[in-house]
Structure 1
Amino acid sequence: MRPRVFLRRDPAWSTANRHPGASPGRTCCIHVEGRSFCQEYPGRETRRRTQVQELRIQAEALDLLRKTRRSQLRERGTSRRFRQRIQGTMRMARRASTGTVPSFLQQLVRETEKMVTFFFKGGQREKRDGEDSESEDESDDVEEIISPYLERPVLQKGTAEGDSKYGVSSAMASMQGWRAQMEDTHTCMPEMSEGHPDWSYFAVFDGHAGTTVAQYCSTHLLDHILATGAITAEENVEQVKEGIRDGFLAIDRHMHNLSQSEGWDRSGSTAASVIISPNNIYFINCGDSRTFLCRDGQVVFHTEDHKPCNPREKERIQNAGGSVTLQRVNGSLAVSRALGDFAFKEVEWRTQTEQLVSPEPEVYELERSPQDEFLVVACDGVWDAISNEELCAFVRNRLQVCDDLRDVCTQVIDLCLYKGSLDNMSIIIICFSGAPQVTPEALQQEADLERRLDLKVDEIIQVIRSKGEDPDLLYVMKFLASENVPGLPPGGGVTSKRDCVIAAYQKYAAACRTVEPMDIGGSEDSN
């Protein structure tokens, strides 16, 4: 039976709901097998007003995008009046978007708001002494935009190290960076427990929208894995992999119950982990943090990020009734698998692994080899700035000139910061007996490189002075980046020697002017 669709006037509805002066409303009714499904449909005048409102919002949003993009080429800052006008525009757009505006315009408004938030980095500026508060009533009506970024990065690092009598050594470093909060956590256990001392466990948890889930997982995830009884002395590989998977699902169920009973925040967390047994390495990933193994100088295995745009992930999201917009789940979450994020796991009749966001990890095992050198486990704040191969080459190079594994980790964090990472950064490096060792030849090459950089900086500054200009650090760095300087660390380039360049710049530029303090200096270690 084909459904019959028709429009009929509904005077009762139009009298109660129409705008003054609008034509009477109508109701769209669909009749299928004796059942009626009705949808209110506005009159001609209402539709005309809605269309005008939509066009106005679209024009405002697009104009704001253009202005924001142009402003990014200048210094980040603007007048108080312009800032309030933009904030007022966004407030109007948000209110209008809750009405009859199409979904694509709502998404446009949201993305524009994100760009404006990033641009301003922190909402309204503080009022200076003696500054006239023009129109306080107007400022009271403007909503504060809270930015997820800081005006300056937090450079202090947390570091730790550990060793195992079974030939595994490790170190980690983390930095808050430009983010307003530090949401990364980690777990490092070179010797897992009394029952499994020859097993090791390392994990990085990258939290978002809060820290509750990430902190809970860093403390309790291994307990849930061990509670499955899958890890035994006999080491059945498939049993271990299934136990890891069950442990993830179990802790996610447990946290869901806790979030409801204790009123947790709406946070979530990715998880990247490795479990090392005497015979195998188990790679575990849930989200977009990542781990890889360097064997005989090459990346032989790395985990794949769980992004909504991946075909398999996108299919699951769509099957769960969601969509992928701007490479995000429902235009919001940038990862397709995570622990927590229970707002995306509310369909009761679907299993845990069939929700919009799945807590199920991908688990792989690789048999250990004497050629294994090191493992890297890091959050996406690291991978946003450097590739697997670049990081592998850089770590190998640093291990040959630095015998402190914590220092190698901090150099990686600094490199990613200098290369433009805006996120929290956490990294764990786990070394095996086959890892590169410090050699006199490598130390000599490092010393020669630093002397060449010192002379090169002096040469550049002399050229600048000869033109009657003041030396500029940014120009020096750009000039060095364009030069072919032999001996630079592979994967790091001149950016990885920024501290050395800054020291030379300060030494040679001090003769002509007082050097301003650097916004981003060298490493700051909490230990």
Structure 2
Amino acid sequence: MDLTVDHRIRLQPLRGLTKMGAFLDKPKMEKLNAHGEGNSVRYGLSSMQGWRVEMEDAHTAVIGLPHGLDTWAFFAVYDGHAGSQVARYCCEHLLEHITSNPDFRGGGPGGGSEGSHPEPSVESVKNGIRTGFLQIDEHMRAMSERKHGADRSGSTAVGIMISPSHFYFINCGDSRALLSRGGRVHFFTQDHKPNNPLEKERIQNAGGAVMIQRVNGSLAVSRALGDFDYKCVHGKGPTEQLVSPEPEVYEIERADAEDEFVVLACDGIWDVMTNEELCDYVRSRLEVTEDLETVCNEIVDTCLYKGSRDNMSVILVCFPGAPKINPEAVKREAELDKYLQNKVEELIKKQGVDSIPDLAHVMCVLATENIPNLPPGGELASKRSVVEEMYNRLNPNQSDSTCGATNWGNVCGSSRL
């Protein structure tokens, strides 16, 4: 049976939208989704443009890798900036740059099927990933120079390569990956920010400066693919420039009985949720639905309602040890939804037809109450759609001027949102 699944997603900017400074006047909440399974893993993904005037994220999701690695998988999120060109190119070509270079194919003891390449060793995989990043960055630079330097975009990259025995976490920039094992955050990648001591030292050694926590007061990440305006210091190698394309690669042995899931997400997610909050929220969602696209959509919506102003992209990769449907959790979820619906109805009836409150007011009132069984990590923001649906049902002609994505926590002064 062919288990190969390959989704390389390039998100094109949506044109003709009203701009409000660097943002739209209303968020674009349409989502791009995909899912797949094979090799004992399942995944779902979701992307939303949100408030940004352009969608600059992209993804790669591949189960069954080339060059004889049929039992492997690769997932990555690319968060573009100053344009989407680099993110889109990496989405299509980074995996091939990694798996086809000689360092990756350095080989190791056996493991491949007859007629295939030998299973690469742990060190070969790590070296090959690093080499692949440096190769694709140089390749994109050459293409840009042939176009007379027209492309000034860049992209972070966070990913995971999964072999039968290991996870290889890959990070270049400030997107992030985490692994949930045994019911808690077991591992997460470290963001590459200019004010990190080692990053700052490299920037200064290359003749740059860190101002307002940015490279030369401009770029908010210290490692990225592309961004060639920051890679022009003569006498310095590619990993010694103001911005480095070198990824950090961490290998972790798999623990099949305990490994639950991996989350890969851009900083539009992490800006408003901590590692523990997102881990707890995902675990709670997996107890009420098996649909990973639905879980990812709920993550993105929740982060929008928590106040994220960036593009948002998330990939959720689940293993056999992931939480399963819990009938008690499903019952609590239904009771919570009914409770919220009743509360909305009470609030509107209390105000009367002549002074119907807007949705923002309803959310703020709910935020002051001790509502039982709210999803951990998501809190009331994760139930905003339930509140909105009931609100609209009772007030079909009511226009909510704040519809879409107000940061209710800022509006109401509540940490429960």
Question: Do they superpose with TM above 0.5?
Answer: yes
Q: Which residue of structure 2 aligns with residue 113 of structure 1?
A: none
| SS of structure 1 residue aligned to 2:249 | strand
| SS of structure 2 residue aligned to 1:322 | coil
Q: Which residue of structure 1 aligns with residue 303 of structure 2?
A: 416
Written as runs of structure 1 = structure 2, the 5 A alignment for 1:483-498 is 483-498=369-384
Question: Per-residue CA shift, 1:207-240, capped at 9, x if unaligned?
Answer: 1111111111111111111122425544421221
- Greater RCO between the two (CA within 8 Å, min separation 6)? 2
Q: Which of residues 341, 355, 372 is equivalent to 2:259? A: 372
Q: Which residue of structure 2 aligns with residue 308 of structure 1?
A: 194
The reply on whether 1:246 has 2:128 as its aligned counterpart is no
Written as runs of structure 1 = structure 2, the 5 A alignment for 1:110-129 is 122=19
The reply on whether 1:156 has 2:30 as its aligned counterpart is yes
Q: Which residue of structure 1 aligns with residue 87 of structure 2?
A: 214
| SS of structure 2 residue aligned to 1:258 | helix
State the distance in 2 between where 1:472 and 1:253 align: 53
AA partner of residue 398 (structure 2): V
Deviation at 1:518, TM superposition (A): 6.8
Written as runs of structure 1 = structure 2, the 5 A alignment for 1:412-451 is 412-451=299-338
- The runs of at least 4 aligned residues of structure 1 exceeding 3 Å deviation read 231-235, 507-510, 517-522
AA partner of residue 191 (structure 1): G
State the distance in 2 between where 1:421 and 1:314 align: 27
Q: Which of residues 453, 471, 483 is equivalent to 2:357? A: 471
Q: Which residue of structure 2 aligns with residue 37 of structure 1?
A: none
| SS of structure 2 residue aligned to 1:182 | coil
The reply on whether 1:202 has 2:68 as its aligned counterpart is no
The reply on whether 1:259 has 2:144 as its aligned counterpart is yes
Written as runs of structure 1 = structure 2, the 5 A alignment for 1:55-74 is none
Deviation at 1:462, TM superposition (A): 3.4
| SS of structure 2 residue aligned to 1:213 | helix
The reply on whether 1:224 has 2:97 as its aligned counterpart is yes
Does the CA-based 8 Å contact 1:461-1:509 persist in structure 2?
A: no
AA partner of residue 414 (structure 1): D
State the distance in 2 between where 1:270 and 1:505 align: 39
State the distance in 2 between where 1:482 and 1:193 align: 54
Does the CA-based 8 Å contact 2:359-2:400 persist in structure 1?
A: no
| SS of structure 1 residue aligned to 2:76 | strand
Written as runs of structure 1 = structure 2, the 5 A alignment for 1:314-329 is 314-329=200-215
- Tell me the TM-score normalised to structure 2 length: 0.86
Does the CA-based 8 Å contact 1:205-1:271 persist in structure 2?
A: yes
Structure 1, gaps ≥5 residues long: 1-120, 124-146, 523-527
Q: Which residue of structure 2 aligns with residue 136 of structure 1?
A: none
Q: Which has the larger radius of gyration?
A: 1
Q: Which residue of structure 1 aligns with residue 287 of structure 2?
A: 400
Change over 3 Å in CA distance of 1:414–1:204 after alignment to 2:
same
The reply on whether 1:170 has 2:40 as its aligned counterpart is no
The reply on whether 1:277 has 2:163 as its aligned counterpart is yes
State the distance in 1 between where 2:403 and 2:293 align: 20
Does the CA-based 8 Å contact 1:170-1:190 persist in structure 2?
A: no
AA partner of residue 128 (structure 2): G
State the distance in 2 between where 1:482 and 1:391 align: 23
Q: Which residue of structure 2 aligns with residue 97 of structure 1?
A: none
Does the CA-based 8 Å contact 2:87-2:155 persist in structure 1?
A: yes
Deviation at 1:472, TM superposition (A): 2.5
| SS of structure 2 residue aligned to 1:157 | strand
AA partner of residue 157 (structure 1): K
AA partner of residue 293 (structure 1): L
Change over 3 Å in CA distance of 1:194–1:224 after alignment to 2:
closer
Deviation at 1:417, TM superposition (A): 0.7
AA partner of residue 66 (structure 2): S
AA partner of residue 422 (structure 1): R
The reply on whether 1:457 has 2:344 as its aligned counterpart is yes
Q: Which residue of structure 1 aligns with residue 114 of structure 2?
A: none
Task: Pick the structure with more helix per residue.
Answer: 1
- Tell me the TM-score normalised to structure 1 length: 0.69
| SS of structure 2 residue aligned to 1:447 | helix
AA partner of residue 270 (structure 2): W
Question: Per-residue CA shift, 1:60-100, capped at 9, x if unaligned?
Answer: xxxxxxxxxxxxxxxxxxxxxxxxxxxxxxxxxxxxxxxxx
The reply on whether 1:350 has 2:236 as its aligned counterpart is yes
AA partner of residue 283 (structure 2): R
Deviation at 1:271, TM superposition (A): 0.4
CA RMSD between the two structures: 1.8
Structure 2, gaps ≥5 residues long: 1-17, 112-118, 406-417
Q: Which residue of structure 2 aligns with residue 293 of structure 1?
A: 179
State the distance in 1 between where 2:170 and 2:80 align: 17
State the distance in 2 between where 1:180 and 1:521 align: 15
Q: Which residue of structure 1 aligns with residue 56 of structure 2?
A: 183
Does the CA-based 8 Å contact 1:499-1:521 persist in structure 2?
A: no
| SS of structure 2 residue aligned to 1:337 | coil
| SS of structure 2 residue aligned to 1:207 | strand
State the distance in 2 between where 1:474 and 1:169 align: 37
